[in-house]
Amino acid sequence: MTGVRHHIPDPLLVAYASGNLPYAYSLVVATHLSMCDSCRTRLSAHQAVGGSVLEACGTRDLSNDLRDRVFAELDEPYEEAPQFTRSGIFPAPVMQALGGLPPKWKPLGMGVRQSILSHDNGGSVRLLYIPSGQAVPDHGHNGLELTLVLQGAFRDETGRFGVGDLEVADDDLEHTPIAEEGETCICLAATDAALRFRSLVPRLLQPIFRI
């Protein structure tokens, strides 16, 4: 996809290439990669460097116990997971997370909805539905938040984010995202810690909505 202006930072891309990102962040990164030619090219470069490093590391003999366990796992029957393709605005990685089904939207108030795709101690990832012109309550972060736009656009204190753009927000950023007029803004968002809301009502509802 052309026109993407906000890309995956190199540290996140390296962590993804090496398999060291938690699932919630990996899903957002994989979805952005499916939409961004530039980041796919950068990922290939990081993977090539990683492969060269592995080749230069040399080899080590496996213990008999480890070798036997590896061969035992190779003998286990292999069941290929079903693969999903893009459906409407949802790229293949999102459809994979949805199990090929439409999102199950739950209201958050003021027309905003969410569909939680995964939530555990390692973090959460969800789809957000934000009506045209609607603001998300002002909030900060206790960790890292990745937000990828799938439809429409939003603006906040850092700029404008359209389809394919990825916003990376850390604990230094406090912002009030507002969906642009026009299309409903639909985003894929991942966090590893609860958000910090200024207003009392969002803070009271946080445990219910798991945000």
* Cβ pair 50, 42 in contact under 8 A: no
Q: What pLDDT digit, counting tens, does each position of 100-117 carry?
A: 999 999 999 889 999 999
CATH code assigned at 142? 2.60.120.10
Flag the least confident range among 2-6, 22-26, 87-91, 199-203. Answer: 199-203
Can you give the residue range of the structural domain that contains 116? Answer: 1-211
* Cβ pair 121, 178 in contact under 8 A: no
Total domains, the chain: 1
List C-alpha distances in Å: 178 to 159, 188, 208: 11, 15, 23
Rg (CA), the chain: 20
* CA separation for the pair 102, 129 (Å, rounded): 13
Residue appearing with tokens 């998300």: 136
* Cβ pair 199, 181 in contact under 8 A: no
**pTM recorded for the entire structure:** 0.83
4 C-beta neighbours (distance < 10 Å), count: 19
Residue appearing with tokens 């070798």: 67
> Is pLDDT of 13 > 90?
yes
* CA separation for the pair 81, 26 (Å, rounded): 18
Using the 8-state DSSP alphabet, how is residue 87 labeled? B
The percentage of residues in the chain with a pLDDT greater than 70, rounded to a whole number, is 83
